[in-house]
Structure 1
Amino acid sequence: MARRYLNKTFLPLLASALLITPAAYADDFSMFEDAPSIQLSGELIQKLGVKPAKTEYRESVKTLKLPGIVQVDETSSFSVNSKFGGWIEKLYIDYKGRNVKKGERVAEIYSPEAVAAQEEYLAFLKHSANVSPSSGGAYGKVFSEDAKRLTESARQRLRYWDITEKQIQEIEKTGRVKKTVTLYSPASGYVTAKNVSEGMKTEPGMELFSAVSLANLWIIADVYEDELKYIRVGSKAKVTLSGVPNVVYELTADYIYPEVSQRTRTLKVRFLVNNSSGLLKPAMYTEILAKFPAGRVLAVPSDAVIDDGRRKIVFVSLGEGRFEPREILAGAQNEGFTEVRQGLSEGETVARGANFLLDSEAQLKGISPVKGF
């Protein structure tokens, strides 16, 4: 009786369930289907020039393009001063902007003080020559040493006034006082300020000229706050000039200013550049290209990534000539590689070299990229 009930009731229900299940739950089984992909023969892969590339971690380099302006190196500025009062008899630097070389004559000054100091030196020099240790009895040696000491003191006074050894030797040789003292430039550069003219009276410590050397210059760059983490004192960079396209200068960051501009939200970084060529001029605009280590990132060759304007797509090799189009979240591009932030795992193989042909084939077959993130 029970067996007859089982055959009439349960077995028909089981049969109905088996017949209904595939149709009713077909969508639930679609997740087990193969991912959409295109199939290429080995011959076609070779003919199209499709090459494999591994997704791998590599050292990333952050490239910054910074606007910069050339400025004088303030540590290379210098001035020509008179350490004694007098009148300018002759002026050799007669206009602002003139280039001057180290050791070049800049002015001749008549100074009663300098004349008196020369006369004093010559008198002590003559006295020292006339006093010998053997003369003067028991005090001869003392008198001789005192004379030498006074002579050296007078000589040192001339040196303190920037009278050169050559000028002093000329005074010794001729035995005559020079009416004017010649002043020389202590360094090479160009004159930024001319404060005197011929016939003008000078005072001790008065600045006659100021000048600056252009052998080394500063380039001041503006760096945004979020980019500052890449820059350190000692960082290297290169700079190009729009007017001189084939010349590249090597730079070194030697100072980071401590204040952020409230208007531009940038920080100034100072780069030191050697200007031995003389092509760089103060106030020139430049573009600085700086590269800094940015850590290890997952990356693929940039020619393996297709950018259709809306998304970034790669073709992942599934083996046996099958390629899956996959959308990735890409980062920065550096030195021929593109950072992969999401969508690929280390060790996966992607196609490079004929990606646009693969993309065209996928579109013809109606295959859309799989979203990898």
Structure 2
Amino acid sequence: MSRRYFNPIAIAALAAVIAAAFSVGGCHSDSAGSAAAVPEATPAVRLVRQQGLEMLQFNAADVPGLVMVQVRNAELPGLLEASGQITYDDRSVSTIVSRVQGRIEQTRVSLWDNVQRGEKILALYSPDFMTAEAEYLQARESSHPGAAPGVGASSDFAGALLLAAKRKLQFLGMSDADIQAIKAPDPTVWMRAPISGTVVDNKAQRGTAVNPGDVLFSLGTLGDVWITADIYEDDLARVRVGQQLSAVTTAFPDEVFKGVIARISPNIDPATHTLQIRCEVKNPGGMLKPQMLAKVTIVTRPGNALVIPQDALVFDIDNYYAFVEVSPGMFEHRKVSIASWSRVGSARVVSGLKDGDRVVSGETLQVNALWHEAHGESS
């Protein structure tokens, strides 16, 4: 039987490895655990309902970096700026409307053509014209001093018939000059431009059938235009009808157009807390075109606006929110409407907050996460 010899060096090495493993797994486990980094604990939060509102309750000191800021009043400059869009002055827009059932025989103008008042625009065929013209000619003949006895015997009655026949032709769209020139009934009548201006809408095509009430042409003028602009609700007291203003456009950045506030809307948009003003602006050379964007500057008295840091706001779904401290450790998740502010890092508050409110700043996103986490735990 052979003998096995053990190497004392190898035995010593093996003993050292076993001892090290035992030391790590057992004796030194506590010291290793105490040296490892411990993750910060999530602040204790809960939802509390007070006066019909949900409040987030937590200790602000448990959120490192969280600070409270106060909503403050800032002075507005003596200039009020608003963005708007150029439109036609609707007092200078006119339409040609078909007042009979018929067919378009001929057109003489196209979209964007300039026309003069009284110029022939389109020829419209309708038996209604012929009938009305025949009635007019008969009434005119009956009212003539040399008419035979009968209908013409009563001049007052004949005159009333003639006036009624003439008004019917006017109602159908004929001008006084065209009515006076009628010699015989004709089913085709030329419709004329009611004003001098530009054809801004053309729905008339040759051969097209039309019905009473169909709009055939729209004419507009660009001597004066309107700029419809939006201002915030809290700026309403700073504007008035007749106030002077200036406007600039991106198309003509070096041109300043002068005007006045002509109308102030009686309605306020509840979603944006804005209302519209209509500015009547001079347009030399027709440079300003409908649908152009413009910036309006109104010289007015200084005002005030509520201002908060932008990092006090969080955008959630489709609105801005702030966490308002209603009492120590109690925070309301409140919807806020804002507008741009000239100072970088700040926002102008349109609604939702008042002067002196204290709101969370610095760690608003983390507090918003706690809000959703609390909702998830309570649901």
What TM-score results when the alignment is normalised by the length of structure 1? 0.52
**Mapping of residues 74-89 of structure 1, within 5 Å:** 74-89=90-105
Q: Does 1:70 align with 2:78?
A: no
Q: 1:129 aligns with which of 144, 154, 167?
A: 144
- State the Cα distance separating 1:276 from its structure 2 match: 4.2
Local SS of the residue matching 1:196: coil
CA contact (8 A) 1:215 1:275 kept: yes
Q: Does 1:154 align with 2:157?
A: no
Q: Over aligned residues, Cα RMSD in angstroms?
A: 3.2
**Mapping of residues 249-288 of structure 1, within 5 Å:** 249-257=257-265, 258-260=267-269, 262=271, 266-288=274-296
Mapped to 2, the partners of 1:197 and 1:227 lie a distance apart of: 48
Q: Does 1:101 align with 2:116?
A: yes
Mapped to 1, the partners of 2:154 and 2:235 lie a distance apart of: 74
Q: Deviations over 1:254-300 (max 9, x none)?
A: 2333324745x6443321212243111122232322211349xxxxx
**Mapping of residues 1-373 of structure 1, within 5 Å:** 62-94=78-110, 96-129=111-144, 131=146, 142-171=153-182, 175-257=183-265, 258-260=267-269, 262=271, 266-294=274-302
- State the Cα distance separating 1:144 from its structure 2 match: 4.6
Q: 1:220 to 1:116 in 2, by over 3 A?
A: closer
Mapped to 2, the partners of 1:148 and 1:81 lie a distance apart of: 29
Q: Deviations over 1:89-139 (max 9, x none)?
A: 111233x3444333222211121121122223223333443746xx75xx8
CA contact (8 A) 1:131 1:147 kept: no
Q: Partner of 2:71 in structure 1?
A: none
Local SS of the residue matching 1:259: coil
Q: 1:237 to 1:167 in 2, by over 3 A?
A: same
CA contact (8 A) 2:226 2:278 kept: yes
- State the Cα distance separating 1:198 from its structure 2 match: 0.9
Mapped to 1, the partners of 2:215 and 2:302 lie a distance apart of: 50
Mapped to 1, the partners of 2:223 and 2:301 lie a distance apart of: 30
Q: Deviations over 1:177-220 (max 9, x none)?
A: 33411111222343343223111222222221234332322213
CA contact (8 A) 2:79 2:302 kept: no
Mapped to 2, the partners of 1:105 and 1:169 lie a distance apart of: 16
CA contact (8 A) 2:142 2:151 kept: no
- State the Cα distance separating 1:249 from its structure 2 match: 2.0
Local SS of the residue matching 2:132: helix
Local SS of the residue matching 2:268: strand
Q: Deviations over 1:67-101 (max 9, x none)?
A: 3332233443332112222221111233x344433
Q: 1:141 to 1:170 in 2, by over 3 A?
A: closer
- State the Cα distance separating 1:145 from its structure 2 match: 4.4
Give unmatched runs, 5+ long, in structure 2: 1-75, 304-379
Mapped to 2, the partners of 1:219 and 1:104 lie a distance apart of: 30
Mapped to 2, the partners of 1:195 and 1:103 lie a distance apart of: 20
CA contact (8 A) 1:261 1:267 kept: no
Aligned AA for 1:101? Q
Mapped to 2, the partners of 1:247 and 1:124 lie a distance apart of: 59
CA contact (8 A) 1:97 1:192 kept: yes
CA contact (8 A) 1:131 1:144 kept: no
Give unmatched runs, 5+ long, in structure 1: 1-59, 296-373
Q: 1:71 to 1:157 in 2, by over 3 A?
A: closer
Local SS of the residue matching 1:293: coil
CA contact (8 A) 2:227 2:278 kept: yes
Counting aligned pairs with the same residue, the percent is: 29
Mapped to 2, the partners of 1:254 and 1:140 lie a distance apart of: 55
What TM-score results when the alignment is normalised by the length of structure 2? 0.52
- State the Cα distance separating 1:156 from its structure 2 match: 2.8
Mapped to 2, the partners of 1:154 and 1:229 lie a distance apart of: 54
Mapped to 2, the partners of 1:255 and 1:218 lie a distance apart of: 10
Aligned residues: 228
Local SS of the residue matching 1:68: strand
CA contact (8 A) 1:91 1:108 kept: yes
Mapped to 2, the partners of 1:288 and 1:212 lie a distance apart of: 23
- State the Cα distance separating 1:236 from its structure 2 match: 1.4
Q: 1:287 to 1:156 in 2, by over 3 A?
A: closer
